[in-house]
Amino acid sequence: GAVVSQHPSWVICKSGTSVKIECRSLDFQATTMFWYRQFPKQSLMLMATSNEGSKATYEQGVEKDKFLINHASLTLSTLTVTSAHPEDSSFYICSAPWIGNYEQYFGPGTRLTVT
Amino acid sequence: AQSVTQPDIHITVSEGASLELRCNYSYGATPYLFWYVQSPGQGLQLLLKYFSGDTLVQGIKGFEAEFKRSQSSFNLRKPSVHWSDAAEYFCAVDPSKGDMRFGAGTRLTVKP
C-alpha cells in the first residue's frame, strides 16, 4: 500500500527557534497533502492544505506566518514552525490522498516539544 | 454546523465481549466516512471506509461498521474484543473536499 513518511519523528527545540518537519509520499505522487495537529488525548485538527505549485490554504485560526508550508515537489511537503513557543508543543501529522482508491494515507507523526 | 460527533469519550469492555462505538455526522450530503485506530505512539491505521453501496462495511481486524442515512450515523462494531484492540478510535468524514474532519475520539479499554 501507499506509504507516507515524516521526519523527524521527534524534535525538541528551544523557544524562539524554528523547526522544519518533512512529509513524504514514498511510492506515489501527491499534489495535495494535509497537515494536522493533535494535542495530548485530543483529536486531530486540520491545520492546512498543502498544494503543489501554489500557496497552502489554512484553516481558520491557524497563523500562516507561524506555520509555513511549502509543497516543494509531488512527493514532499514541509511544515516549518517559526518562532516556536511552548504552546506549539504538539503532535503534527501529515496525510496524502492516493487517487487510486481515494484514501488518505497518514504519516506516523512528529512530536514537537518546545522548551 | 458541520461536525463529527463521537459521544463516548471512554469505553471499557471485557475481553471477548461485543463492542459498538458510536459516530454521528452533520453534513449536507453524505460524506465519505472512515474509522481509524491509533495506538499509543503510533500513527493512524484505517479500519474501514464507506463511500457508497452496501451500508454494512467490513474492515480489518474483524471490525465492521453500518452506515445509516436516516440517523446520520456510522457506528463501528466488533463481535468479540481482544486485549490488543485497546486503543483510541477516531471516526472521520471527508465532505468531498479531500480534507478529513475527525471526531473527538473514543478511548477503548479492554478488561481481562
Give the distance from residue A103's alpha carbon to the nearest chain B alpha carbon, in angstroms: 9
Query: Does B100 contact A109 at a Cβ distance shorter than 8 Å?
Result: no
Element (H, E) at A36: strand A32-38
* A68 SS3 class: strand
pLDDT, position B97: 61
For residue B100, the chain A residue with the least C-alpha distance is: A46
Residue of chain B whose alpha carbon sits nearest to that of A6: B43
Q: How confident is the model at residue A104 (pLDDT cuts 50, 70, 90)?
A: confident
- Angstroms from A98 CA to nearest CA on chain B: 10
CB-based contact A32:B98 (threshold 8 Å) = yes
pLDDT means per 10 residues, chain B with 112 residues, are 89 97 87 90 87 93 95 96 96 78 94 94
